Amino acid sequence: MFAPITLEILVLALGFILLLAESFSNSTSKRSLAKIAIFCLGWVFAFSFFVESAPAHPEPGSFWNFYSADTVSMVFKRIALLTTIIVLVMALEYEAVLAKNIPSARTGAGTGEFFILPLFTCTGLMLLASAMDLVMAFAALELVTISFYVLVAYMRGSHTSLEAGVKYLILGALSTGFFVYGITWIFGLTGETHFAKIALKLAALQGSDTAILFALVLVLVGLGFKVAAVPFQSWVPDVYQGAPTPVTAFLSVGSKAAGFLLLLRVLEPFLGVAALSSKILLVLTVLAGATLIFGNLAALPQNNLKRLLAYSSVGHAGYLLMAIACVGVAPSALGSVGSTVGFYLFAYLLMTLLSFLILTIASQHTKGEEIQHFNGLSRRSPFLAFGLLVAMSSLAGVPLTAGFYGKFLVFAQAVNAHQWTLLALGTVTVGAGFYFYLRVVAAMYWAEPTDSSPIHVSGLSKFVIALLVTGIFVFGVNPKPVLAALQSSPAPLAATAH
Amino acid sequence: MNPLTLNHYLLASGLLFSLGFAGVMLRRNIITIFMCLELMLNAANLSLVAFSRFHVGMDGLPNYNAQVLVFFIITVAAAEVAVGLAIIVALYRARQTTHVEDIQSLKF
């Protein structure tokens, strides 16, 4: 048995070794770097099932006060690893586009880091999953964000990639500013940076409700940017459309998972303040409602598939926020919300990565990312069309898919919490979702292709697509394994409070 | 003359933060916007140090946790500037401009 931190150290070491190997090798093809990374991350993923768990009562001042390895963190670590592996597979498919858009003396030069930087993002995501202290959470979040700045702007020859990079840079740094200022006020009020200790101090604090709300609102603004909640979503469509497709996929899954996990961890101490919890829940309800409406309605007129998926990502943030807004006032209720959010994110990972992987492969042959370019895809490649059909159905929430069960859990939560307004909004927006997701399916199956040459798919991608499709069905019919992994968490915060 | 209290520092840091935010919203040059963003981070640093100095513990020492966080923020800000300026330079090479109005080719 090894300490859980070994996983992060392994991924980080792999990143450094590959960076060194890249700079000393003369080979023009960088594909082997990605293959080595995929292979090693696969091993780290397997390894993650064999690490020891955190002690229930860590000594004061020890490392375990900053870092937890409860079951929820382990599930999020595996989500991060899985996402990174699939993003690297996507990056391999994307290499031709990448090489074309990077000005260099030799074609293919300068693409190496594109395969290595996701490893550092992955390290950040994994550390964030375990962070029990605001300092650690901040450092991990910034490791994720800064490596994303580079990845989004990676195609130096493409105006859209650079433009997306600058937009992401400015708004990402702005959200960091708000988040840090919020942390400052939380520290000022409590004198602590550890989540559990903050909870104790906040519960004992009397008569400074305004200051507590001010701190929380600043943090919520910062995290609202990360999870793409309305009204902080304005960067999402532009950045998603302009960034290289594998990075868009990584952003929409990794960055969102990180943001929601941090949101849950930060909210927990604040919901313990009895006088404030109703106000906080009202703010969350308004955010969730606005995000649901905007994300799903703005997606209706979109013709660009990448942009459509961006709005869809905003819409799904709405469902996740809806689950969080339905948390009861009792402190133990956050446990069940945690598992709902965890399952929804897992389902979201499967279907979003599947759509982006197929988008990456197909758009190179169709020479475009508009929906009309996908006309008649079923005749050019039945396999890809079926994969996209499954992904779109799951995103829309067709029964027997993982996406449906995720939405079912969220709606059940809303019924339990008597959140009827959100429930009504959720139902209407699911209806809107059916329209714009199935429009893509209609184009693939019922429209005539302009060019009917078959599309070749590499073996590795075929394997990953098959795996994701199977995952969507298996976890849609039998979601128990994931839920069980999320629920057996023995209340980590209560245990480390003293 | 009155001694400086925590409120004076918080007021100064609040002013810095608002100035930075106003700059991000109103200015049109990306480099200026970026400098305003750094101003916001430094506002947080100032109030953290102030909070640390005025949170005196049992042993009469300030609470050093906040000052450790300040070092993290300074490091992160430096990394952000390094990456950010590189991206802005790349943008300037490609488009010969650093003005917000000129980079709207992606539709809103």
Q: What band does A333 get if pLDDT is binned at 50, 70 and 90? A: low
In terms of pLDDT, which residue wins out, A402 or A417? A402
Q: What band does A496 get if pLDDT is binned at 50, 70 and 90? A: very low
A491 pLDDT above the threshold of 70: no
**A265 close to A401: Cβ distance less than 8 angstroms:** no
DSSP one-letter string for A41-95: HHHHHHHGGGBPPPPSSPPTTSGGGTB---HHHHHHHHHHHHHHHHHHHHHHHHH
Chain B nearest-CA distance from A71, in A, is 28
Q: Per residue in A358-380, pLDDT tens?
A: 999 998 888 888 888 888 889 88
pLDDT at A170: 94
Q: What band does B1 get if pLDDT is binned at 50, 70 and 90? A: low
CB contact under 8 A, B91 and A160: no
Lowest mean pLDDT among A51-55, A230-234, B78-82: A51-55
Which residues have a Cβ under 8 Å from the Cβ of A46 and sit 6 or more positions away? none
Residue B107 three-state SS: coil
Phi-psi map region of A376: left, alpha, beta (phi>0 left; psi -120 to 50 alpha): left
B108 pLDDT above the threshold of 50: no
Helix then strand then coil, % of chain B, to nearest 5: 75, 5, 20
Of A138, A184, A241, the CB nearest to B106: A241
Domain residue ranges of chain B, discontinuous segments joined by +: 6-102
Q: How many CA atoms does the CB half-sphere of A201 hold within 13 Å?
A: 15
A463 pLDDT above the threshold of 60: yes
**A205 close to A212: Cβ distance less than 8 angstroms:** yes
Amino acid sitting at position A15: G
Q: Per residue in A346-359, pLDDT tens?
A: 999 999 999 999 99
Alpha-carbon span A145 to B65, nearest angstrom: 24
Tokens read off for A409 = 């859990």
Helices (H) and strands (E) in chain B, counts: 3, 0
Q: With 0-12 CB in 10 A as exposed, 13-18 as middle and 19+ as buried, what is A33?
A: buried
Residue B106: other Cβ atoms inside 10 A: 17
In terms of pLDDT, which residue wins out, A253 or A71? A253
Residue A47: other Cβ atoms inside 10 A: 14
Residue A440: other Cβ atoms inside 10 A: 22
Q: Per residue in B31-45, pLDDT tens?
A: 999 999 999 999 999
Return the residue in A141, A144, A147, A166 with the most chain B beta carbons within 10 A, the one to mutate for interface testing: A166
**A73 close to A51: Cβ distance less than 8 angstroms:** no
Q: What band does A332 get if pLDDT is binned at 50, 70 and 90? A: low
A482 pLDDT above the threshold of 90: no
Q: Per residue in A84-110, pLDDT tens?
A: 999 999 999 998 889 888 887 776 678
Q: What is the mean pLDDT of residues A30-55?
A: 90
**A469 close to A390: Cβ distance less than 8 angstroms:** yes
The owner of tokens 């330079």 is: B89
Tokens read off for A414 = 């809303």
- Beta-bridged to residue A67, according to DSSP, are A131
DSSP one-letter string for A187-223: HHHHS--BHHHHHHHHHH--S-HHHHHHHHHHHHHHH
Tokens read off for A311 = 């709005």
For chain B, list residues whose CB is within 8 angstroms of any CB belonging to chain A: 10, 17, 20-21, 24, 30, 33-34, 37, 40-41, 43-44, 47-48, 51, 55, 63, 65-66, 68-69, 72-73, 76, 79-80, 83-84, 87-88, 90-91, 93-95, 103, 105-106, 108
- Work out the mean pLDDT of chain A and round it to a whole number: 89
B62 pLDDT above the threshold of 60: yes
pLDDT at A86: 96
pLDDT at A277: 83
pLDDT at A94: 92
Of A149, A150, A170, the CB nearest to B33: A170
Of B40, B68, B83, the CB nearest to A177: B40
Which residues have a Cβ under 8 Å from the Cβ of A249 and sit 6 or more positions away? A86, A87, A90, A352, A353, A356, A357, A360
Q: Per residue in A169-199, pLDDT tens?
A: 999 999 999 999 999 999 999 888 888 888 8
pLDDT at A494: 39
Q: What is the mean pLDDT of residues B15-30?
A: 94
Q: Per residue in A435-449, pLDDT tens?
A: 999 999 999 999 888
pLDDT at A329: 55
What are φ and ψ of residue A276, in 5° steps?
-105, -20
CB contact under 8 A, B90 and A162: yes
pLDDT at A465: 96
Q: What band does A79 get if pLDDT is binned at 50, 70 and 90? A: very high
Alpha-carbon span A335 to A342, nearest angstrom: 11
Q: Per residue in A259-286, pLDDT tens?
A: 999 998 898 888 877 778 888 889 999 9
Tokens read off for A144 = 């994720």
Closest alpha carbon within chain A to B38: A177
Q: What band does A469 get if pLDDT is binned at 50, 70 and 90? A: very high
Alpha-carbon span B1 to B7, nearest angstrom: 16
- Beta-bridged to residue A194, according to DSSP, are A133
> Distance of CA A246 to CAs A356, A357, B43, Å?
7, 8, 36
> Distance of CA A352 to CAs A88, A254, A281, A380, Å?
15, 11, 29, 22
**B100 close to A167: Cβ distance less than 8 angstroms:** no
pTM as predicted: 0.93
Q: What band does A68 get if pLDDT is binned at 50, 70 and 90? A: confident
CB contact under 8 A, A160 and B106: yes
Tokens read off for A436 = 């714009």
Alpha-carbon span A62 to A30, nearest angstrom: 41
H-run or E-run covering A462? helix A459-477
Q: What is the ipTM of this complex?
A: 0.95
CB contact under 8 A, A163 and B108: no
Q: What band does A202 get if pLDDT is binned at 50, 70 and 90? A: confident
A56 pLDDT above the threshold of 80: no
Candidates 1.10.3210.10, 3.20.20.150, 1.10.287.3510, 1.20.1090.10; correct CATH number of B6-102?
1.10.287.3510
